[in-house]
Amino acid sequence: MTTKTLHVVGARPNFMKAAAVHHALAFRDCEQILVHTGQHYDALMSDVFFATLGLPKPDESLDVGSGSHAQQTAAIMSRFEPVVLARKPDIVLVYGDVNSTVAATLVCSKLGIRVGHVEAGLRSFDRSMPEEINRLLTDQIADILFTPSTDAADNLAREGIAGDKVHFVGNVMIDTLIQFLPLAEEVFLALRTELGLESFGLVTLHRPSNVDGEHTFLPMLEVLEELSCELPLIFPVHPRTCHRWSERLSRCNPNLRIIAPLGYLECLALEKYARVVITDSGGMQEETTYLGTPCLTLRENTERPITLTLGTNKLVGRDWRLLRERFHESLANDRKPRSPIPLWDGKASERIAEIVTTSKVER
């Protein structure tokens, strides 16, 4: 008998992680159910990823949409509970650190349904980040914790989580990157012509701490406009940033190219060929590390310290002097070959599939 696995996805960074595990379980002929909470719902934030990544149409769409954290989390919980009761999975897999992750885990935990958390154990130690709260709570109540890097097990042990629940499997997002990089390279040829740029940088910003307040976002934008005079910067704008700042963004220096959110292949292609990436995204810190592209992170901390120690990532916080300095360093230096990161080898999802289909964890 195969393990009936239900995946919960909700927001953009979940899709590339779930895709890798879904493919690995499909290869083992597992019965799978895909639930989309609808946390992200715009075509550019959701549908394009399903199409590109070969994820099937969701079996269930909860259509929760946007709202305050409490509203969104509560809506996911109340709409997910009847679904999981009706579908009776053997295990539910949740991904990353978004509101859908913690909401689904809480529901399953109370119903006595096994939960596996993919990308467990990452910590920024910054509880002002909503994602940090989601990580802490999810890991406390999930049954199987799949960790992407060696630091994660230490964090979980420090929080009193039993070691036998923890499985170091590697990074599933890198599985997807490895699978799709050849296609992204093809896409880049057309994209480069479309953009008309030989040399460029890539910028993404969506954290509330960076984009919600004018005293942070406006000076940040001015520095980016200044840097874009030295190297054109492509800035695909997240809906959160766009809704808040559309008028100001429409007046940007044209060297800072404001464009709509990118599809997965386009984003990967630009990350690979950018001279430098400036971001506040967790996933892009990892992807640039794998690709060997210099990454400057506009945050004071990261839940992915391995990207600092073994990768190409540098934290610049909101120190504009440091940002300018690091930016110039990135342009001046040749790309260095990256250090290999343990188990970022394209096989993390196979390891998860093996554990999901063979383990019988008692709750």
Residues in contact with ligand UD1 by the rule CB under 6 A: 11-13, 39-42, 45, 66, 97-99, 130-131, 206, 238-240, 243
Cα-based torsion angle of the residue sequence 221, 43, 302, 114 in order, rounded to the nearest 10 degrees: 160
Per DSSP, the three-state class of 186 is helix
**Please, which residue, 149 or 241, has the CB nearer to ligand UD1?**
241
**Please, which residue, 39 or 330, has the CB nearer to ligand UD1?**
39
Other beta carbons within 10 angstroms of residue 162's beta carbon come to 9
**Please, which residue, 23 or 207, has the CB nearer to ligand UD1?**
207
With beta carbons less than 8 A apart as the criterion, state whether 84 and 108 touch.
yes
**Please, which residue, 42 or 63, has the CB nearer to ligand UD1?**
42
With beta carbons less than 8 A apart as the criterion, state whether 123 and 99 touch.
no
- DSSP string for residues in 104-156: HHHHHHHHT-EEEEETTT---S-TTSHHHHHHHHHHHH-SEEEESSHHHHHHH
- Token reading at 225: 């406009």
Given the residues 7, 117, 167, 206, the one annotated as active site: 206
Q: How far is the CB of 312 from ligand UD1 (least distance, A)?
A: 20
Q: How far is the CB of 6 from ligand UD1 (least distance, A)?
A: 19
Q: How far is the CB of 134 from ligand UD1 (least distance, A)?
A: 6
**Please, which residue, 36 or 167, has the CB nearer to ligand UD1?**
36
Our answer to whether residue 36 is catalytic in this structure is: no
Q: How far is the CB of 298 from ligand UD1 (least distance, A)?
A: 14
Please name the residues in contact with 251: beta carbons below 8 A apart, sequence gap of 6 or more.
Answer: none
Cα–Cα nearest to 99, from 60, 61, 138, 63? 138
Q: How far is the CB of 41 from ligand UD1 (least distance, A)?
A: 4
Report the distance separating Cα 225 and Cα 189, nearest Å. Answer: 26
Active-site residues, by number, are 206
